Amino acid sequence: MSQVKRLNMVILTVIVSFLAACGVSAEPEKLTDNLQKGSLKVEEVELENEKATKVKIKTSHGDLVITLYNETPKHKENFIKLVNESFYDNTLFHRVIKDFMIQGGDPNSKGAAAGIALGEGGPGYTIEAEIQNNLYHKKGALCAARQGDNVNPEKRSSGSQFYVVTGKPYKKEELEQMEVQQNRQKENGLMQAFIQAPENAAYMVRLQEAQAMGKDAAKRAEAEAAINILAEEIKPLALADFIPFKFTEEQLQAYTTNGGTPFLDNAYTVFGEVIKGMEVINKIGITATAPGDRPLEDVVVLSMEIIK
């Protein structure tokens, strides 16, 4: 590796790690007190869900019932609309990953020939994210699929594609590591956004000057020191309103017993859950798949209907 490339890696490590203080990195984000502006407490969610809309899903592997959360009204109303339009009828669960999730809702999957890659279809629109820290990726959670952060930084949901979590149990130590990772990722994002903001151009100039200086092997140590100083200045400004993420006791209990996909929390909208027929989800979740995660034997959503 050339000296310049090595230095660039050092600079990147320092500006990402140091700026955000010791740790690691992962996927989503969350808040400590199990509350978020505009969201409800867990006990309130349970009360609300007694009045929640329920949907019966008939599949080629059996029937199940899901409930749609009132706390995610945009996703709830959209799902009801699509169900009433028979949008999902005869679509496939086109993506299955053992111990992770099963995914459906692609209209292009209707009658799709074997071997055809699926997962790009939708109704032609996306939905504003309704991510809430008290709605999480426990086993059986109904969640909205979406494009990645690199092309979808607002985390907008697919207009129709969804997934149901199968997941697996995690040890408490693994969950603690995820907390560190999620906090690091959020901090990194805040740092990057801060230094790239037009009003903070002076900091970006200093970073670029340090990077340029570091191309000279004789000035490498000086360049690293300059970046360290810059990091110390930026961190309290960029993280002024940052609240570290921590799993609640309820989440720890769920993830260490029944399991789920905790690493996706606060990255995707969770808008419902399976309340009947989890054995059907489990059965679909272990079906044999081809490269690309499409089941070798089609798993068909025969119909969906709103029920009382």
Query: What are the φ and ψ backbone dihedral angles of 217, each rounded to 5 degrees?
Result: -55, -35
Q: 236-282 pLDDT, tens per residue?
A: 999 999 999 999 999 999 999 999 999 999 999 999 999 999 999 99
Mean per-residue pLDDT, 70-90: 98
Give the residue among 299, 287, 282 at the shortest CA–CA distance from 105. Answer: 299
Residue ranges covered by each domain of the chain: 3-28+175-238, 42-169+258-307
Which pLDDT does position 308 carry in this prediction?
Answer: 78
Mean per-residue pLDDT, 117-141: 97
Positive or negative, the CA dihedral 288, 290, 296, 299 is positive
Query: Does 24 have pLDDT greater than 90?
Result: no
Which pLDDT does position 52 carry in this prediction?
Answer: 81
Query: Does 19 have pLDDT greater than 80?
Result: no
- The more confidently predicted of residues 77 and 8 is 77
Which pLDDT does position 9 carry in this prediction?
Answer: 38
**CB neighbour list of residue 91: distance below 8 Å, 6 or more residues apart:** 104, 105, 106, 107, 109, 110, 300, 301
* Rounded distance between C-alpha atoms, residue 306 and residue 57, angstroms: 9
Q: 81-97 pLDDT, tens per residue?
A: 999 999 999 999 999 99
CATH architecture under which domain 42-169+258-307 falls: Beta Barrel (2.40)
Helix (H) or strand (E) holding 275: strand 270-276
Query: Does 5 have pLDDT greater than 70?
Result: no
Position 51 confidence tier, pLDDT thresholds 50, 70, 90 = confident
Per DSSP, 22 falls in state S
Q: 26-46 pLDDT, tens per residue?
A: 333 322 233 233 344 444 445
* Rounded distance between C-alpha atoms, residue 220 and residue 217, angstroms: 5
CA-based angle 159:118:163, to the nearest 5?
Answer: 50
Task: Compute CA distances 100 → 51, 59, 115, whole Å.
Answer: 29, 19, 22
Q: Where are the alpha helices (DSSP H) in the chain?
A: 3-13, 19-20, 42-49, 73-84, 172-196, 201-214, 220-238, 249-256, 278-285
Query: Does 7 have pLDDT greater than 60?
Result: no
3-state secondary structure 58-124: EECCEEEEEEECCCCHHHHHHHHHHHHCCCCCCEEEEEEECCCEEEECCHHHCCCCCCCCCCCCCCC
Q: Is 54 helix (H, G, I), strand (E, B) or coil?
A: strand
**CB neighbour list of residue 42: distance below 8 Å, 6 or more residues apart:** 34, 134, 248, 250
Q: 145-166 pLDDT, tens per residue?
A: 999 999 999 999 999 999 999 9
278's tokens: 């989890």
Which pLDDT does position 17 carry in this prediction?
Answer: 39
Q: Is 222 helix (H, G, I), strand (E, B) or coil?
A: helix
